[in-house]
Structure 1
């Protein structure tokens, strides 16, 4: 088929060449009887006498003749004697008799030379098949030695003749049953058999409907009208336009087969997209050019699909079967096809190669509403936070007590938020420019920055709690905070990098334009992926710890300081400080509220508050520093000391 490029495509071309050169594929042969013909030194002939019907076929041999006689054909009636090439001195010749009832084709191979006794005459309905062996006709000097049926030994002795009995069945139904079972390569049987049937025009099978067109010299393109299944309106059938560049210029004429599969179940059993959130629409169209591999067409094949209405919340993509990866499995790929939407019920695929084509509908994840606005808000917020964190880090490093424990905690949070804001601001650019290879590393870095920010938010929460309830005790050594804040998040990221296939380019689908998603570097959170498990067990665990601890800390601190004189004197200032403090971690919990009527404004609130966390952090320290100056405190002016001065006084 068309998309087989490179080494895989070469193997497929060799297979097709061997198939057509020998006349049939091994999977399609209903009957194969082989043996060694023991004969004399004289003139040798191949005699046959074939009649219509379904009875007995006798394969016999004597000193000078190999004969095939019987009633097994549907259309073919042929009787003649063929002279065989002499082989002086030889008394044995290997031979095989092949019978394919679906095509009504019978041929004999003697010493490597093919002799067709009945040529294909279209696809037969009722035919004679399932040939079973009858009794052998004694033994003799001349005859058939080491006879086999489908490579199973019948007899090691020399017999003058073998009889086989057939029965009438519906060959088309049997053929479709065989094509629908097994792996993806079975689907190819349909188009291969249609190609070998020597029929031009429409070919109808229970599982597929084909149209065979012959491209001759001067071919200017062609619009194919595929046959419609019974009860299906013609306007519901896919349309196919073949461009003029499809015909190989070196050939005078060549056939092309377009096959329409109304039911995609032939492809579902071995499909790699058989997931709850992705499905293939019922219609599948396959296109094949005789003995050719077609890729990189200057003018695309155009395939129009008419389908049931696809909601705007679901994206759709034209996809093709990629047989380069594994011909035994149906792997759908988007590359090589352009999707043209023509309303909710019509989609046109423009593809530059030949294979099987279908429409892939993405049900999950659900498209994001107002994605453009949310992206702009997030980008502006991240830019502001990045700059704010730079200013704050400079401020913290210039304080007289830049090396004390409180400043070390604040500086660690500022550095983590700086990395998170910077990486998130750049993730879309890296995804569009660098692709999967760059996103493998950048996605891991973004994940690390997120986990590190969560860790430092928890440390900030714990440190504030320590200052309130352990006034006369020093907090743990800053090295411990750095180990937890920067070291702990690296562990799950390294493990996921070792597992592989977790980080890369992901698509965020917009409800306004489902076919032009926003690209970013992140974790693969598709169903049944390692990334999805990591998201639930790592990201959400970190987030839950931060949110819950932030809420608990806020409650305990308010209860502890609400009766102090400083609280009653300046409630607004304290509410501002501690309100900003609670932004660290608790605002990420808004993601759990994105449901029902809240889903309209919660995403905006989530993006605004979380993208501006670096700015809020700087604002908090600015307010604390200003309060310190206004109070003209005699303390050293550190943020922690200011906080204690205003908020941690002992109860009167």
Structure 2
């Protein structure tokens, strides 16, 4: 009885009859779903309900801390003067949009408006693709800065990244709508066409992840190789490298492949792990790129704290950031030698997790 006669893909899954009479039947439908449904097929009802709770809690926490991360980097100019910070801001916006749309999807899908459902599904699709595109651009920048080091000025570097990061997902979503707008919809406002799902989501995500895993391995090898020439750093290198690996894993989205390994007896366990780690990705971004970064903590202490916890804006650290910010302008990587470039690049990658050292300015 609880099935829509029109378009939109509404079905009786998750619906119960609330009341019935001669002229009217009222249905109560639950369209909540878990985070893993973005990449894989649903599970049993029991597992789906548990994963739904985990996903909504994780996405809610991530949304809050992504908001804090964005406010921090937007409010404090000294934190957004280099390319990694600007790329991080864009990635945070994409992840925040993904988490917010996921949280609102079930509520918006409860309205009897097929047009609203299409818009919601298309927007959720867009932010999912944008999130992965920016993760891929994080890997591209790391490769340019650390592996393929060059002393060439790239005009409008961040603008070009923005054109790719926000433009490619828009083109893909527009193509889907142009070819078949009914590809979006269902009891959950998401892709209901298997062809579009596997081509525009699964294949796209796999391509980005393969590239990111390759860059991840290359970057770790490069960092390890450069640290072999710095014996003084070996005393704390194990913990330092662990933080670096965790930070890069979050930035490059290397927990998402869990969905593709969720096969056989381990399928349910891996999907639980997938939902926990990926719904909390925004929280981990905050931990590694705000909470564990010394320059971010000091900006908080300068502008937000009071009493003995407050730092002076004219402290030695503040002056070093200001002077360092004036030394580098309008460049991707500049140095007197390739060795100094590699060392600086490694320090920037490592600082993502340890928070040591100030950021340097790089103009767009």
After TM superposition, the score normalised by the length of structure 2 is: 0.67
Structure 2 match to 1:486: 166
Cα distance change, pair 444–474 in 1 and its aligned pair in 2 (3 A): farther
Q: Structure 1 377/473 Cα, relative in aligned 2: closer, same or farther at 3 Å?
A: farther
Say if 1:415 and 1:379 are closer, same or farther in 2 by CA, change over 3 A.
same
Distance of 1:535 and 1:475 partners within structure 2: 39
In structure 2, how many angstroms separate the alpha carbons of the residues matched to 1:611 and 1:475?
A: 37
Deviations 1:567-590 (A, max 9, x none): 623321232133232133221111
Partner of 2:90: 412
Q: Which residue of 2 aligns with 1:100?
A: none
User: Which secondary structure does the structure 1 equivalent of 2:110 belong to?
Assistant: helix
Alpha-carbon distance in 1 for matches of 2:238, 2:291 = 14
Instruction: Indicate the residue corresponding to 2:32 in structure 1.
Output: none
Please identify the structure whose Cα radius of gyration is greater: 1
The yes-or-no answer on 1:555 pairing with 2:225 is no
1:495 and 2:163 correspond? no
Deviation at 1:351, TM superposition (A): 10
CA offsets per residue over residues 335-354 of structure 1, 9 Å max, x none? 8xx989xxxxxxxxx9969x
Shift of residue 627 of structure 1?
7.6
Partner-residue secondary structure (3-state), 2:80: coil
CA-CA distance at 1:608 after TM superposition: 0.8
Q: 1:497 to 1:475 in 2, by over 3 A?
A: farther
Question: How far apart, in 2, do the equivalents of 1:567 and 1:467 lie?
Answer: 21
- The answer on whether the counterparts of 1:567 and 1:574 sit within 8 Å (CA) in structure 2 is no
Q: CA deviation at 1:622?
A: 2.5
SS of residue paired to 1:488: helix
In 2, the alpha carbon distance for the partners of 1:534 and 1:545 equals 16
Change (3 A) 1:432 1:545: same
SS in 2 for 1:501: helix
Secondary structure, counterpart of 2:151 in structure 1: coil
Quick one: structure 1 residues 430 and 490, their matched pair in 2 at CA, closer, same or farther if it must change by over 3 Å? Answer: same
In the TM superposition, what is the alpha-carbon distance from 1:546 to its structure 2 partner? 2.0
> Equivalents in 2 of 1:396, 1:629: separation in Å?
12
| Equivalent position SS for 1:420 | helix
Q: Residue 103 of structure 2: SS of its match in structure 1?
A: helix
Preserved contact between residue 55 and residue 275 of structure 2 (Cα < 8 Å): yes
Which one of the candidate residues 554, 564, 574 is aligned to 2:241?
Answer: 574
| Contact 1:443–1:522 (8 Å) recurs in 2 | yes
- TM-superposition CA deviations, 1:621-646 (whole Å, max 9, x none): 1255228989x6955689x9986436
Does 2:224 align with 1:538? no
* Residue number in structure 2 paired with 1:432: 110
Contact 2:121 2:191 (8 Å CA) reproduced: yes
Q: Name the residue aligned to 2:337.
A: none
Deviation at 1:470, TM superposition (A): 3.7
Partners of 1:614 and 1:449 in 2: CA distance: 14
Task: Provide Cα deviations, 1:551-606, integer angstroms capped at 9, x if missing partner.
Answer: 11221112112141376233212321332321332211111111111112111111
Give the structure with the higher percent strand. Answer: 1
1:600 aligns with 2:249: no
Cα distance in 1 between the residues matched to 2:344 and 2:287: 15
In structure 1, the residue matched to 2:254 is 586
SS of residue paired to 1:585: coil
Pair 585,416 (structure 1): closer, same or farther in 2 beyond 3 Å: same
The yes-or-no answer on 1:444 pairing with 2:118 is: no
| C-alpha spacing 1:433/1:549, structure 2 compared with 1 (3 Å) | same
Q: What does 1:93-492 align with in structure 2 at a 5 Å threshold?
A: 367=44, 369-397=46-74, 398-400=76-78, 402-473=80-151, 476=154, 477-492=157-172
Structure 1 residues 647 and 599, CA gap change in structure 2 (3 angstroms) = closer
Deviation at 1:368, TM superposition (A): 5.1
Secondary structure of the structure 1 residue equivalent to 2:190 = strand
SS of aligned partner of 1:439: helix
Superposed CA deviations along residues 258-299 of structure 1, whole A, max 9, x for unmatched, are xxxxxxxxxxxxxxxxxxxxxxxxxxxxxxxxxxxxxxxxxx
In structure 1, what is the Cα distance between the partners aligned to 2:43 and 2:50?
17
List gaps (5 residues or longer) in structure 1: 1-316, 326-332, 341-349, 354-363, 508-519, 525-530
1:23-102 paired onto structure 2 within 5 Å: none
Q: Matched residues in 2 for 1:380 and 1:580: separation?
A: 22
Deviation digits for residues 313-333 of structure 1 (CA, Å, limit 9, x no counterpart)? xxxx8989x8x99xxxxxxx9
Q: Partner of 1:612 in structure 2? A: 280
Shift of 1:436: 2.8
CA gap of 1:464–1:400, structure 2 versus 1, over 3 A, is: same
- SS across alignment from 2:182: coil
Q: Tell me, what secondary structure is at the counterpart of 1:574?
A: helix
| CA–CA distance in structure 2, aligned partners of residues 593 and 352 of structure 1 | 51
* CA distances 1:501-551 after superposition (whole Å, capped 9, x unpaired): 1112x34xxxxxxxxxxxx21111xxxxxx211111111122112211221
Q: Number of residues paired by the alignment?
A: 284
Would the alpha carbon gap of residues 605 and 474 (structure 1) be closer, same or farther in structure 2, given more than 3 Å must change? farther
Q: Secondary structure at the match of 2:130?
A: helix
The answer to whether the 8 Å contact 2:79/2:296 transfers is no
Task: For residue 480 of structure 1, report the CA deviation from its aligned partner.
Answer: 0.7
CA distance in 2, matches of 1:628, 1:468: 23
Quote the Cα distance in structure 2 between the aligned partners of 1:618 and 1:467: 23
